[in-house]
Structure 1
């Protein structure tokens, strides 16, 4: 398999194990609305944009902007503490940098949340796509198509690492090659993501 033109990585649940913190944030807000979350709510929370979750909690659309702000604040408050990096993430990012493969962080979170997490990853991404950067977020393909476009890469020549069904759907719809990962299993080594890259393929 040829080496990819770029590797595009999800953030929450892929590089940092924040899905539990996100669930806690949404659950706390939902509880205040008198509608406790259950396992049936997972597909509507996990991997979705904050705006989508706000709309899910308030299906009549009232106070959507205020609800989005409440969810963002609740999540940011939890991110201020210890942030668990997924096992293998530092090694994977270092390996991609050593192989000179462009990387993009492609997140469903707003930029304010992404900027809280980025310093803890210790990696200089070539590009960061946050929720505000595309008209539609995951599970639509827009974020991954935009990342590929800005990097000058064909979507079919990009490898995406994702953990959520919404993210996998977005990457698949964009035409990217997808590696489904889990924060509990850790991330694969860089060589597994890009294969053995020949020296003459490097720029």
Structure 2
């Protein structure tokens, strides 16, 4: 008789498919801050350029991925490439200078991106939870928050996760604190770094620009 056939072991089940219907309302909306809700990326670039000049460097387009949407420490490490012998201490010192330079500019006033106030009010009216997910230090976030005049359910700054954007950690942590499935959250971002982080976390990503402003509530659907 022919030997009994043996079926190969079945593959372990993967995560359940996302069956969210088109147009569904998100469980939460997760906002980046700089360049998304407030037009501060130009201020951050100016602050970084000043510190870079003091280190004998001139910033150009090739530096953008290492400056925009990154944590202060990431940008400081980039400015110190190649690393100094006392790399950790040097990065901390440059990060402190970057933060102070950025804060000085923010204290002179920030421009809220057009449509941001209206969108935040609409989300409050519809009782859709919101989170602020920023790569900036908490000291910077606290300076900006009053200009937004909105009560976020969760506020995450650079210090709140071991890894910052472009890693998914900040968005995953925001969803966890909101007790929401990341796949049922809309993340609002402007930079490639932030878009990568939100996409890796599984969020639906809505890409915006300070020049065009934020859309209305209808763009917050998961469809």
One fold, TM greater than 0.5? yes
Using the TM superposition, give the Cα deviation of residue 194 of structure 1 relative to its aligned residue in structure 2, in angstroms: 3.4
Q: How many residues align?
A: 196
Q: CA RMSD in A?
A: 1.2
> Partner of 1:38 in structure 2?
60
Give 1:104's match in structure 2, choosing from 131, 150, 154: 131
Give SS of 2:155's match.
strand
Using the TM superposition, give the Cα deviation of residue 44 of structure 1 relative to its aligned residue in structure 2, in angstroms: 1.0
Measured in 2, the distance between the counterparts of 1:177 and 1:192 equals: 11
Structure 1: 5+ residue stretches without partners:
196-203
Using the TM superposition, give the Cα deviation of residue 192 of structure 1 relative to its aligned residue in structure 2, in angstroms: 1.9
> Partner of 1:4 in structure 2?
26
* Residues 69-124 of structure 1 deviation map (CA, whole Å, 9 limit, x = unaligned): 00000000000112111000000000100010000000000100000000110000
TM-score by length of 2: 0.86
Using the TM superposition, give the Cα deviation of residue 191 of structure 1 relative to its aligned residue in structure 2, in angstroms: 2.2
Structure 1 moving runs of 4+ over 2 Å = none
Using the TM superposition, give the Cα deviation of residue 193 of structure 1 relative to its aligned residue in structure 2, in angstroms: 1.2
Is 1:193 matched with 2:220? Answer: yes
Give 1:183's match in structure 2, choosing from 210, 214, 220: 210
Measured in 1, the distance between the counterparts of 2:212 and 2:118 equals: 14
Give SS of 2:94's match.
helix
Give SS of 1:178's match.
strand
1:2-81 map, 5 Å: 2-59=24-81, 60=83, 61=87, 63-81=90-108
> Partner of 1:142 in structure 2?
169
Measured in 1, the distance between the counterparts of 2:154 and 2:216 equals: 21
TM-score by length of 1: 0.94
Is 1:158 matched with 2:191? Answer: no
Give SS of 1:63's match.
helix
Give 1:124's match in structure 2, choosing from 137, 147, 151: 151
Give SS of 1:117's match.
helix
**Rg (Cα) greater in structure:** 2
Structure 2: 5+ residue stretches without partners:
1-21
Measured in 2, the distance between the counterparts of 1:111 and 1:39 equals: 27
Give SS of 2:57's match.
coil
Measured in 2, the distance between the counterparts of 1:45 and 1:151 equals: 29
* Residues 21-49 of structure 1 deviation map (CA, whole Å, 9 limit, x = unaligned): 00000000000111111121111111111
